Structure 1
Amino acid sequence: MPIAEARIPTDRPGRYLVQLCKHFSNKGRHLGPGARSHHGGDVTPPAGTHTPPELTPDRIDVEWSDTRGVVSLPWGRCTLDAAPEVLMLRAEADDEQGLRRLQDLLETHIGRFGRRDELRVDWRQSEGPAGS
């Protein structure tokens, strides 16, 4: 299982964790037949295309507190941890394509939500076992 981790320095890690988790939770609730969704990096699909069959509300699971969150999508899972002055991400997927897709999606959203603070994600490949 490919794994990547990132440490994002910020003085507001909890705020970004909650904002990301709420966003992904809302996406899951608002998806439905004929709805459009983000594809691998927040790209709206061209006219005439449909939501990918694997991205349905029942396949998006998000749980969070002020200090820890887990976002599970059909192609991977990200664990978010807010520590003093850092937001930590751990992305896991069944294959490299799923991992890249998850990384791109997270980078896009963190870049957009953290634009004012100039947040950047620097992924590092990990060989360690999955965290809890």
Structure 2
Amino acid sequence: MPRSEARVSTDRPHRYAKQLAAHFGRKIESSWDEETGLGSLAFSMGTATLTAEPGALLLAVEGEAGNLENLESVVGRHLVRFGTKDELVAEWHRDSGEAGSVQRNEEDAPAHAPGGAA
């Protein structure tokens, strides 16, 4: 199954992983283990794993090729929103070698070119 990963630099990887698992746990099956620093999210379109490492939160999503970008977006947008003060950026890299999506605070995003579609 296609896979994509994002390594998000942060001094608080456990905090953000726990927050993601708790937030999504209201609607889907999720888990977070503070001792191991591992968690998971089970979406209908695929899964996500959360791994807290020193200085980073490793996000990995797996799903059918047509769902991979949506999984990246859902997990990445929520993380970036939770970490607005820390200016978190989720830049995804797919195992196919394709570039994945990037989520960042809207205020940090590059402006659209004049006359271009927003």
**Same fold at TM > 0.5:** yes
Q: Which amino acid aligns with 1:23?
A: H
Distance 1:6 1:79 in 2: 11
Distance 1:18 1:107 in 2: 14
Q: Which amino acid aligns with 1:15?
A: R
Moved over 3 A (4+): none
Provide structure 1 residue ranges, at least 5 long, that are not aligned to the other structure: 29-59, 128-132
The corresponding residue for 2:54 is 84
Match status 1:64 vs 2:32: yes
Distance 1:74 1:19 in 2: 20
Cα distance, 1:8 vs structure 2: 0.5
- SS of the aligned residue for 1:116 comes to helix
State the structure with bigger RCO (CA 8 A, min sep 6), 1 or 2: 1
1:112-123 correspondence to structure 2 within 5 Å = 112-123=81-92
Cα distance, 1:97 vs structure 2: 2.0
The corresponding residue for 1:5 is 5
Q: Which has the higher strand share?
A: 2
Provide structure 2 residue ranges, at least 5 long, that are not aligned to the other structure: 97-118
Q: Provide the aligned length of Structure 1 versus Structure 2.
A: 94
Aligned residue among 71, 76, 81 for 1:102: 71
Distance 1:13 1:20 in 2: 11
Residues 80-100 of structure 1, C-alpha deviation per residue, up to 9 Å, x if partnerless?
00011110011000x222111
- SS of the aligned residue for 2:25 comes to helix
- SS of the aligned residue for 1:104 comes to helix
- SS of the aligned residue for 1:122 comes to strand
TM-score by length of 1: 0.68
TM-score by length of 2: 0.76
Distance 1:9 1:3 in 2: 20
Across the aligned residues of Structure 1 and Structure 2, the Cα RMSD in angstroms comes to 1.0
Distance 2:6 2:22 in 1: 20
Identity level (%): 38
